Structure 1
């Protein structure tokens, strides 16, 4: 499922839920690595996951390792 910023730009694709975060697939990231965003950023879910910030802001603030330590 695509994750979209407030600018309707895609941040990534959901891999799965990891505790209180969404793990994004590594295949669609520019660096080939997994990234995580907090569930608290989610503002709406329909055919996409919408977050409360732009894609650029999300990418500058995402986590590079699992917040749950997995």
Structure 2
């Protein structure tokens, strides 16, 4: 697991494949809270009840924090299966 202490609000969260997963709202404990406006809405298969509210991703999926991006160790599609509501 990467050092997550540098994760900041408005950083882009991307999968290992470079696909946008969400935008950081804040870190709460061992989870990244994604902003509501794109909280999984762009991930294939995320629809209906997945839209319009915050989602969370475990910091255990973070591979690297660099610049304004949080890169996950899973692809965006795989990360979607780990998203918590």
TM-score between the two structures when normalised by the length of structure 2: 0.72
Alignment gaps of 5+ in structure 2? 1-10, 42-50
Q: Which structure's residues are more often strand, by fraction?
A: 1
Report the equivalent of 1:68.
none
Alignment gaps of 5+ in structure 1? 65-70
Report 1:1-70 matches (<5 A). 1-29=11-39, 30=41, 31-46=51-66, 47-64=68-85
Give structure 1 regions of 4+ aligned residues with deviation exceeding 6 angstroms: none
Residues 24-58 of structure 1 deviation map (CA, whole Å, 9 limit, x = unaligned)? 00111321111100111001001200000010111
Aligned length: 64
User: Rg larger in 1 or in 2?
Assistant: 2
